[in-house]
Structure 1
Amino acid sequence: MSLSTTSLRSPRVVVIGAGVGGLAAAALLARQGLDVRVIERGQQPGGKLSQLAVGPSLLDAGPTVLTMRWVFDALFERLGQSLDEQLSLRPCAVLARHAWGPEERLDLLADLEASVTAMADFAGPAQGQRYLAFCERAKEIYDTLEQPFLRSQRPTPWSLAWRVGMSRLPQLARISPFRTLWQELGRYFPDPRLRQLFGRYATYCGSSPFDAPATLMLVAHVEREAVWQIEGGMHRLAQSLAALCQRQGVQISYGREAREILLRQGRVCGVALDQDAPLQADAVLFNGDVDALRQGLLGQPLRQAMGGRPLTSARRSLSAVTWHLQAEVGGFPLSHHNVFFSDPADEGYRREFADIAAGRLPAAPSVYVCAQDRTGDPMPRHSGQAERLMCLVNAPATADARPLTEEELLLCQAQMFARLTQAGLKISPSVHPLQRTSPQDFARRFPATGGALYGQASRGWRASFQRPASTTRVPGLYLAGGSVHPGPGLPMAALSGQLAAEQICAALRSTRRWQPVAMPGGMSMR
């Protein structure tokens, strides 16, 4: 049934995927009076915002902290709720702890003056002032792009300039889209360790700092603004969003897989499931990796109607190898958020990403460690008993072309533990076997990705304009999630869901067969 069909019933929207983008859109659409159903192939909400069991304990297996909380404050408010009433959030005083060796440590702190002092103590007095200049530049880039890019439908370079306005064109020129992040960091940080520290923000978008545009400096500003932990773990956010959906009347079906998005006369008309009768729909929101549509996983007719070619391995974002374990630790004062860098000498950091670009696991990897039982306090307390850890190494997303062998994965594990030991961290695993997740595991969970965790890599100035928009060339089909505009990460995925919901409501409203429900704090229809 098409969007323009006269009917007394509320229009029906089927959302494929219960990731953060899909849940945000589903709740907003139901709040406007639409009949919404979410189909999720897994057994829990959240998509990559998931949990993993190690013995009797559950560990976060995706994002480990929350940034840009204003996105979720606004979302919950639109749904008639308060984020603080639904979840207990705690700000981190230590944004991240970084180490290069037993005596080489540097904390980035929420207190700017304290971070300036720490920088000066670590890399010399002049570096504190250089860091201040970097923070100002990162904020300028963020302020320039927040409204016209992050909060708006996907722009073109020309429409972005128009949205920014003539008076702010000089600021737009200063976002440095034609320089790489690594090149621009060299202007502020002569110390290669600090270029590593701030270059790692490119990996938040699944990209290499040597390829990613300098505009990603804005990520440093986002993290410096505030980093939050959620009491009970990050998966609580997914559970809360799912509960909000159901409170709005959304029906969520877990363990159901969408087999095909059905078309009638070139327009979306429903979704065929792995079992049961097809679901009729006036609109379908796909909250999965867009490459699944380009590869025909949701039907060859849709693939032909969509057009476009699937991403090559070279254009995909990074994947990862992760290890979840319970262990007793000592020798290094872990915070919640920790990064153990490879040796920067002799272009060591560049070689790390060159290995990944060549389809190999890095020979000398940097390692991220989330100590999930610790807070982001300067001296977090812990019981001395076994605690929950997630360790992560960046990896190539080539699971469909060349899966990593068991020998390669075990070697990477040994190198990962060696890196931590070199920095002074001693880990004594508990009796419960550690749980490893490889790129091929991610590829099975997220079809058509090859294990890529962030969709398309941010490579070059055009990357920001190449992510698909929330609307498609197929009438009635919409997109949300980390592989579409405005990009990966929890806040971006939530924004993508909001943008898709706005487009769906605008399309329905234009038929004059339906009007959105009026309510205080209702969804923007710009």
Structure 2
Amino acid sequence: MTRTVPGRTDHVVVVGAGLSGLAAALHLLGAGRRVTVVERDASPGGRAGRLTRHGYHIDTGPTVLTMPHLADEAFAAVGESLRERVDLVPLLPAYRARFADGSLLDVHTDAEAMEAEVEGFAGPREAAGYRRLRAWLERLYRAQMRHFIDANFDSPAQLLAPDLARLAALGGFGRLDARIGRFLHDERLKRIFSFQSLYAGVAPADALAAYAVIAYMDTVAGVFFPRGGMHALPRAMADAAAAAGADLRFSEPVSRLERSGDRVTAVVTAHDRIPCDAVVLTPDLPVAYRLLGHAPKRPVPLRFSPSAVILHAGTDRTWPWLAHHTLSFGAAWRQTFRELTETGRLMSDPSLLVTRPTTTDPTLAPPGRHLHYILAPCPNTRLGPSAAEWGDLAPRYRHSLLAELDRRGLDGIASAIQEQCLVTPADWQAQGHAAGSPFSAAHTFAQTGPFRPRNLPRGTANAVLAGCGTTPGVGVPTVLLSGKLAAARITGGPRPHRAGALSGSRGRRERRPA
């Protein structure tokens, strides 16, 4: 039995209306709690925010949506459905990869389509290897999901479950690069199933093979896009929470927490004092610990993931060979990860993600225009250039990035830009993200599972953390789970839907103790 918040928990204040906070709010509402959500920004979303400029509707955060059933769990908690609120489009292909030799590969989530693609790209031996890899990824996911991903930890002893033996037998504690190499030999294909470790802040040569579960989410479970952009998801979650009775307060930054002994008794914002029985904190770890008044002691300091430079570019033209998501790989690979995670240099031969959301939803740009999101991983501010250095570096890096894209087939991109926004580690740091990284604490072994910063911080009896810095970690699916797990720390766990529990307006649930 995992630990829960002791004492009364009738009214919960959730700090932050990002994906984790909104997921927590919906699960809490479903368990009969009264919920107030306070958000510093003028709209929901957090990292998954929205910037509108001259008819361009720009998603400021994640662009890849996988495992949508985890979002649906949050809607279902209040008797609603994700698909009733959000029009989800499956992306076919999930990605297109362009390699340094000019070759192109479409990444399909359908097994037969991908097997045929791999055979045409690299031959029958690699196609057979892909089939074996896919089966391994499916087994790996089943071994991890219940006990390692969708789970609250109070002690490393909780790892001693039958699924731990299954995970070990599957090679989950070996190295990702080596494990993928057991199935695939073509270096280009190996990158498709290992680049995801960058999300976890670890090079494929150093990452646990267990992190191939991220490749499962991308290449097996499917990639989706909400019409209206990724921001449509937190917007719909906020609407569902409001319909279920949540009090949503925007443009209300939290200044401090009032305490009595080891309990938080009120959340104080710029405009109000909100008494509460419990609080869910979703800001990045340094901000959450500052509000709590203390940070947990660790044997070694937290190590943070690499950061990213993002160029949002509204253009008067596009390049037909681009898919919705296109991975542009440089020739270098191990060197790139050394630069990002060891030496702190900007990528000398960058691998980039280019997302063109107007491929799927043209309404995100003015008629005849296009929107491109260009993500370039870079070192965080503790390892690489500081926030202050990015002031002078940003325009030079933008110029070199556009020149590299021009060489890789996006010819004339610099002159095609009509509207733009450049986001650097300095901007992430100004938003409160530690080390200037929106990806928070890296998923090293010492910062994973029961060793990751706990969502029940010591010293405060009725505060719970949610978001990418705590359990289970970085990424849209895991952040949604973090909200669910935070709510379970307060309610004691998810409750099955009871017929007749809904009354009044759509999704509104009777208030009853859980």
Show structure 1 runs of 4+ deviating over 6 A. 520-523
**1:342 match: secondary structure:** coil
Q: Could you tell me how far apart the structure 2 residues matched to 1:383 and 1:238 are? A: 23
Q: TM-score, normalised by structure 1?
A: 0.85
**Given residue 340 of structure 1, which amino acid in structure 2 is its aligned partner?**
S
1:41 and 2:40 aligned: yes
Which residue of 436, 454, 463 maps to 1:477? 463
1:26 and 2:25 aligned: yes
Report 1:68-79 matches (<5 A).
Answer: 68-79=67-78
Alignment correspondent of 1:55: 54
RMSD, aligned CA: 3.1
Which residue of 171, 174, 183 maps to 2:178? 183
Q: Is the 8 A contact 1:181 1:209 kept in 2?
A: yes
Q: Is the 8 A contact 2:172 2:208 kept in 1?
A: yes
Q: Is the 8 A contact 2:39 2:252 kept in 1?
A: yes
1:3-27 residue CA offsets vs partner (Å, 9 max, x unmatched): 646xxxx822111111111111112
Report 1:178-327 matches (<5 A).
Answer: 178-223=173-218, 224-273=220-269, 275-294=270-289, 296=290, 298=291, 302-304=292-294, 306-308=295-297, 312=301, 315-327=303-315
C-alpha displacement of 1:387: 0.5
**Given residue 413 of structure 1, which amino acid in structure 2 is its aligned partner?**
R
1:71-116 residue CA offsets vs partner (Å, 9 max, x unmatched): 1222212211122111111112201000014741111112212211
C-alpha displacement of 1:325: 1.0
Which residue of 311, 317, 335 maps to 1:351? 335
Q: Could you tell me how far apart the structure 2 residues matched to 1:312 and 1:98 are? A: 36
C-alpha displacement of 1:179: 2.5
1:464-517 residue CA offsets vs partner (Å, 9 max, x unmatched): 33223332222001011111111122221121111111221239x9xxxxxx99
Q: Could you tell me how far apart the structure 2 residues matched to 1:328 and 1:101 are? A: 27
Which residue of 404, 420, 440 maps to 1:419? 404
Q: Is the 8 A contact 2:352 2:374 kept in 1?
A: yes
1:336 and 2:332 aligned: no
Which residue of 499, 502, 517 maps to 2:488? 502
1:141 and 2:126 aligned: no
Alignment correspondent of 2:441: 456
**Given residue 12 of structure 1, which amino acid in structure 2 is its aligned partner?**
H
My pick for the range that moved more, 361-370 or 203-212, is 203-212
Q: Could you tell me how far apart the structure 2 residues matched to 1:174 and 1:155 are? A: 25
Alignment correspondent of 2:501: 519
**Given residue 143 of structure 1, which amino acid in structure 2 is its aligned partner?**
R
**2:436 match: secondary structure:** coil
My pick for the range that moved more, 70-79 or 471-480, is 70-79
Which residue of 476, 486, 494 maps to 2:472? 486
1:401-438 residue CA offsets vs partner (Å, 9 max, x unmatched): 82243443334323322332333222445463411000
Structure 1: 5+ residue runs without aligned partners?
Answer: 377-381, 510-515
**Given residue 307 of structure 1, which amino acid in structure 2 is its aligned partner?**
P
Q: Could you tell me how far apart the structure 1 residues matched to 2:167 and 2:445 are? A: 16
Q: Is the 8 A contact 2:315 2:418 kept in 1?
A: no
**2:375 match: secondary structure:** strand
In the superposition, relative to structure 1, how do residues 4 and 71 fare at CA in structure 2: closer, same or farther (>3 Å)?
closer
In the superposition, relative to structure 1, how do residues 47 and 169 fare at CA in structure 2: closer, same or farther (>3 Å)?
closer
Which residue of 348, 369, 382 maps to 1:363? 348
1:257-287 residue CA offsets vs partner (Å, 9 max, x unmatched): 11222221122222222x3443221101101
1:364-421 residue CA offsets vs partner (Å, 9 max, x unmatched): 2111100011139xxxxx9993201100100122179822434433343233223323
Q: Is the 8 A contact 2:88 2:227 kept in 1?
A: yes
Q: Is the 8 A contact 2:318 2:370 kept in 1?
A: no
My pick for the range that moved more, 87-96 or 323-332, is 323-332
Q: Could you tell me how far apart the structure 1 residues matched to 2:448 and 2:164 are? A: 20
My pick for the range that moved more, 324-333 or 52-61, is 324-333
**Given residue 171 of structure 1, which amino acid in structure 2 is its aligned partner?**
R
Q: Is the 8 A contact 1:39 1:254 kept in 2?
A: yes
1:91 and 2:112 aligned: no
Q: Could you tell me how far apart the structure 2 residues matched to 1:334 and 1:41 are? A: 36
My pick for the range that moved more, 101-110 or 231-240, is 101-110
Q: Is the 8 A contact 2:96 2:323 kept in 1?
A: yes
Q: Could you tell me how far apart the structure 1 residues matched to 2:171 and 2:188 are? A: 22
**Given residue 93 of structure 1, which amino acid in structure 2 is its aligned partner?**
L
1:9-47 residue CA offsets vs partner (Å, 9 max, x unmatched): x82211111111111111222333322211111111111
**Given residue 443 of structure 1, which amino acid in structure 2 is its aligned partner?**
Q
**Given residue 426 of structure 1, which amino acid in structure 2 is its aligned partner?**
D
Q: Is the 8 A contact 1:329 1:426 kept in 2?
A: no
Q: What is the total number of aligned residue pairs between the two structures?
A: 491
Q: Is the 8 A contact 2:352 2:376 kept in 1?
A: yes
Q: Could you tell me how far apart the structure 1 residues matched to 2:346 and 2:115 are? A: 35
1:299-337 residue CA offsets vs partner (Å, 9 max, x unmatched): xxx333x53259857x10121100011124455511101
**Given residue 194 of structure 1, which amino acid in structure 2 is its aligned partner?**
L
In the superposition, relative to structure 1, how do residues 472 and 330 fare at CA in structure 2: closer, same or farther (>3 Å)?
closer
Q: Could you tell me how far apart the structure 2 residues matched to 1:310 and 1:326 are? A: 46
**2:333 match: secondary structure:** helix
Structure 2: 5+ residue runs without aligned partners?
Answer: none
Q: Is the 8 A contact 1:59 1:324 kept in 2?
A: yes
